[in-house]
C-alpha cells in the first residue's frame, strides 16, 4: 500500500490544551480522504502541521515517504497544494492575475498553464472581472486553481463547501471528482457536512478531541451502515422505554422518530406500545446514513 501521508503519535499542545494527542492517520495515494469531526476536534490543527505552518509538540508525520524531521520533506511538500479555512486571494486582482501571483511565489519562470488552470476550474470566461465580485463558489474554485499551481498531486481542502449555495456545492464536488479521476490527484478533505462528503470520499478518518477514533474505507462504511426500521410514534419517550425493555438497539431522532436496528418483531412492538397508549404512525425500512453512523461512533444519541 502506497501512502501520500501518514502520522505516527502526532501531538500538538498549546499550554494545557492538546489539540492533537497520539494521532495516527493513513492517506492512501489516489484516495479522496474525508476527514470528519466537529468544530474544535483538531482537523485544522492537523492540516496546519502537515502544511508546515506549525511544528508538532511530539510524534511525526511522513509526506511521500519523507519524515517531517528530514530536510527532504520540504521538497515533498512541493507536491502538495492546500486551501486552508478560506482561499487566499487578492480581491482587487482578476482570476488570471491571482494565479500569476502564485506562480511568482513558487518561483516558476513562465506562466505556462495559467489559462489551462482557469479552464480546469471553470473560470476561463471571467476576463477582467475582479475577484471581489466573484461568488463564494467562484472564489473557492479560484483557491483550488491557485493550490494547483506548481502541478501538485496532493490537495488538502479545509471545509471546501462551507457557506456555498447548492449550485456552488455541486460545482466543487464535480471539480474534486474530476481532479481525482482524470488527474490522479489525492485529496484530504476536512468537512462537517457529512451528506456531501459521502458523495465524494473513498476513505474516512473520524477525529474527536484530538484522537483518531476510526479509519474506514467507503466499502467498509457501506457494510457498517446497517439497514434499520424507521418508526414514527405519538410518544418518543414511551418508545424508548419499550425498546429498552425489548433490548433493541436504537437511535431517537427528532419529531417522535427513531431508527431501530436488528430483527424487530413489529407485531410485538406494536402491542407493547399500544399497552402504553402509544401508536405507530409510520413505518419504513431505512439505510443508516454517514451522519447516523458518525453519531453512533461518537456515542451521541445511541442506546443499547
Chain segment 139-188, per-residue pLDDT in tens: 999 999 999 998 999 999 999 998 899 999 999 999 999 999 999 999 99
Which tops the pLDDT comparison, 228 or 32? 32
Output the pLDDT for position 303.
36
**Is the CB of residue 12 less than 8 Å from the CB of residue 18?**
yes
- pLDDT for residue 300 is more than 70: no
Length of the chain counted residue by residue: 304
> What number of H helices and E strands is found in the chain?
11, 15
Look at 30-39, 85-94, 179-188, 218-227 and tell me which has the smallest mean pLDDT: 218-227
Query: Which residues face 261 on adjacent strands?
Result: 228
- pLDDT for residue 304 is more than 50: no
Query: Which residues face 229 on adjacent strands?
Result: 260, 285
Residue 234: strand, helix, or coil: coil
- pLDDT for residue 111 is more than 60: yes
Output the pLDDT for position 225.
76
Where b means 16+ CB within 10 Å and e means fewer, 186-206 reads bbbbbbbebebbbebbbbbbb
Output the pLDDT for position 173.
95
**23 pLDDT tier (thresholds 50, 70, 90):** very high
Percent of the chain at pLDDT exceeding 90: 74
Output the pLDDT for position 288.
67
The predicted-structure confidence for 189-247, as pLDDT tens digits, reads as follows: 998 888 889 999 999 999 999 999 999 999 988 877 777 888 999 999 999 999 999 99
Give residue for cell 451528506.
Answer: 195
Mean predicted lDDT score pLDDT of the chain: 91
What is the distance between the alpha carbons of residues 211 and 25, in angstroms, rounded to a whole number?
A: 10
Pairing of strands 66-67, 80-83: unpaired
Output the pLDDT for position 19.
95
- pLDDT for residue 302 is more than 80: no
What contacts 151, CB < 8 A, 6 or more positions away? Answer: 113
Q: Which domains does the chain have, with CATH numbers?
A: 3-223 (3.40.50.300), 226-287 (3.30.70.100)
- pLDDT for residue 286 is more than 50: yes
The predicted-structure confidence for 250-266, as pLDDT tens digits, reads as follows: 988 887 899 898 888 99
What is the distance between the alpha carbons of residues 130 and 92, in angstroms, rounded to a whole number?
A: 6
Output the pLDDT for position 289.
76
**39 pLDDT tier (thresholds 50, 70, 90):** confident
Amino acid at each position: 500500500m502506497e501512502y501520500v501521508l501518514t502520522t505516527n503519535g502526532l501531538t500538538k499542545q498549546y499550554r494545557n490544551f492538546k489539540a492533537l494527542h497520539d494521532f495516527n492517520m493513513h492517506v492512501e495515494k489516489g484516495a479522496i480522504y474525508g476527514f470528519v469531526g466537529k468544530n474544535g476536534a483538531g482537523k485544522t490543527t492537523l492540516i496546519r502541521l502537515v502544511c508546515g505552518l506549525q511544528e508538532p509538540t511530539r510524534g511525526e508525520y511522513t509526506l511521500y515517504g519523507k519524515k517531517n524531521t528530514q530536510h527532504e520533506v520540504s521538497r515533498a511538500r512541493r507536491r502538495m497544494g492546500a486551501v486552508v479555512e478560506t482561499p487566499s486571494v487578492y480581491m482587487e486582482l482578476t482570476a488570471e492575475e491571482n494565479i500569476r501571483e502564485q506562480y511568482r511565489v513558487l518561483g516558476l519562470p513562465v506562466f505556462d498553464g495559467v489559462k489551462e488552470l482557469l479552464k480546469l476550474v471553470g473560470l476561463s470566461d471571467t476576463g477582467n472581472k475582479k475577484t471581489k465580485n466573484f461568488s463564494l463558489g467562484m472564489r473557492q474554485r479560484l483557491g483550488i486553481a491557485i493550490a494547483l499551481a506548481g502541478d501538485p498531486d496532493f490537495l488538502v481542502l479545509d471545509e471546501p463547501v462551507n457557506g456555498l449555495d447548492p449550485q456552488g456545492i455541486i460545482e466543487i464536488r464535480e471539480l474534486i471528482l474530476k481532479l481525482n479521476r482524470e488527474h490522479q490527484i489525492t485529496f484530504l478533505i476536512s468537512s462537517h457536512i457529512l451528506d456531501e462528503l459521502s458523495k465524494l470520499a473513498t476513505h474516512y478518518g473520524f477525529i474527536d478531541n484530538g484522537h483518531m477514533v476510526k479509519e474506514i474505507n467507503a466499502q467498509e462504511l457501506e457494510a457498517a451502515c446497517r439497514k434499520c426500521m424507521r418508526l414514527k410514534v405519538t410518544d418518543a419517550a414511551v418508545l424508548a422505554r419499550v425498546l429498552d425493555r425489548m433490548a433493541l438497539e436504537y437511535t431517537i431522532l427528532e419529531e417522535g422518530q427513531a431508527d431501530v436496528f436488528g430483527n424487530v418483531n413489529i407485531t410485538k412492538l406494536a402491542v407493547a406500545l399500544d399497552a402504553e397508549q402509544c401508536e405507530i404512525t409510520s413505518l419504513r425500512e431505512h439505510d443508516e446514513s454517514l451522519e447516523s453512523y458518525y453519531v453512533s461512533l461518537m456515542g451521541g444519541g445511541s442506546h443499547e
